[in-house]
Structure 1
Amino acid sequence: MWGRTDWYILQCKECDYVFAQTDDTWSEAYSHHDEDGQEHYELEHMYDYWPALSKRDKPEWIGDNSISGVKDVDALHTAMMELYGALNSNLPMLSAIGIRTCFDVASELLEVDPALTFVEKLDALMEAKHIREVDRKRLEVAVEAGNASAHRGWKPTANDLATTMTILEHFIFDAFVQPNRRKKLDEDALKMKGTVPPKPFRRKK
């Protein structure tokens, strides 16, 4: 038996991005097929990349250094960035746990007592009108997935992670980004109101 790893330095023709690729082959990992009455064997190749290729694009409102336009959420931004790192590194169980962690961090930033149980946190978020009933049901699924990975060793599929990530991103956008954008739009509208000339006064005949 033998194994081999070939390393390559690659560069994208479009953006000049440089990254490393490994190509792993092993004498016992192959596929075969019949062609013209003869058996043909072909080695299977396992490719990996560094830095890891992105498995999920970050939303436009999550920058490299902050969540767009939202102040004092450094802990949440850090947790989210580590979560995307776990996703890109093909770590599904850690990603599921990271989703649960991001929910906990976000809840605390929304002034929910971190000592509460998960169900109690959802109750508090609903009472404060940060989420609706439909959001609660979705978050229950996403966070319980993280609990299953943390406590029962459950390994989610790529589709499972895609669904739970969408739920988490929707929650964070609605709770932090959207209110901030509404506030900014209200402020801009108020400033504009001061520059718009009033309707001229006309005397009644």
Structure 2
Amino acid sequence: MIIPDRKEKYVCRACDNQCFHRPASNGKSFGKRSGTGSEWHYKTYEVLQCEHCENVVLCIHHWTNPGPMIGDSYITKTEFFPPKQFWKKPLWFPKLSKAYQKIFSEVYSALDSSLFILAATGIRTALDKVMVEKIGDIGRFETKVDRLVEKEIITPADKELLMAVVNAGSASAHRGYSPTIKATTHMMEITEHIFYKLCFEQNKTADLLSKARTLRRATPGRKKA
């Protein structure tokens, strides 16, 4: 007797590759049946493991059975838990302070669960916090952004980017605005650009300026003829 290979290919939630997944539990668990007449529905639950990175995921298949006279059951939908990442953390994420890591971790969790109102509100919170750190709590968002431009911490173009995200986040926080997937993607791209500029690029420039001054002092001048 030949035992069939029960491995199936899915997009892994961890390594993001199309990988074979093997059952990591002893068979499937069947949920309750529902439906009326000749059509009924049920779910199967199975724990799968990625062959590439060994990540474990719960796979839920939604089945519909049109009845013995029409054909066998077929899958109408498949869900995975945890869900696929909506947004990957940037490489510099571990270098953020614990406070910012906590805020952004909640934003990423909201995005993975398609909670875009919560994500937009969290983005607004993170931006407000970083602006207060740079120039103090001087009032409205517009005032803070203008001060960042005055101090040449950001450019006028950055101001336009920043205000677009802040306005969207404020609309979510105060008026229940739910950004689309496309709008949320734009918000994340802009936010990470601003954060990298304020938290890392500035520090890198200051460090390089210090090194340049040290180099200039150590460089011998021209000898007088």
Fold agreement, TM-score > 0.5:
yes
Tell me the residue number matched to 2:48. 10
Structure 1-normalised TM-score? Answer: 0.74
User: Is the 2:124–2:170 contact (alpha carbons within 8 Å) kept by the matching residues of 1?
Assistant: yes
Following superposition, the deviation at residue 3 of structure 1 comes to: 4.7
Rounded Cα–Cα distance in structure 1 between residues aligned with 2:114 and 2:120 = 11
Following superposition, the deviation at residue 7 of structure 1 comes to: 1.9
SS in 2 for 1:156: coil
Task: Tell whether 2:204 aligns with 1:166.
Answer: no
* Structure 1 residues without counterparts, runs of 5 or longer: 29-37, 68-72
Distance change >3 Å, CA 18–CA 135, structure 1 → 2: same
Task: Tell whether 2:51 aligns with 1:19.
Answer: no
Query: What is the RMSD computed on CA atoms of the aligned residues?
Result: 3.2
Rounded Cα–Cα distance in structure 1 between residues aligned with 2:144 and 2:93 = 24
User: Is the 2:103–2:126 contact (alpha carbons within 8 Å) kept by the matching residues of 1?
Assistant: yes
Amino acid at match of 2:170: N
Rounded Cα–Cα distance in structure 1 between residues aligned with 2:165 and 2:144 = 14
Structure 2-normalised TM-score? Answer: 0.68
Following superposition, the deviation at residue 166 of structure 1 comes to: 0.6
Tell me the residue number matched to 1:96. 120
Tell me the residue number matched to 1:61. 92
Tell me the residue number matched to 1:31. none
Aligned length: 183
Following superposition, the deviation at residue 128 of structure 1 comes to: 2.1
Distance change >3 Å, CA 157–CA 125, structure 1 → 2: same
Following superposition, the deviation at residue 167 of structure 1 comes to: 0.6
Identity %: 28
Rounded Cα–Cα distance in structure 2 between residues aligned with 1:132 and 1:56 = 26
* Structure 2 residues without counterparts, runs of 5 or longer: 1-34
Selected match of 1:124 from 143, 147, 156: 147
Give the 5 Å matches for 1:145-184: 145-184=168-207
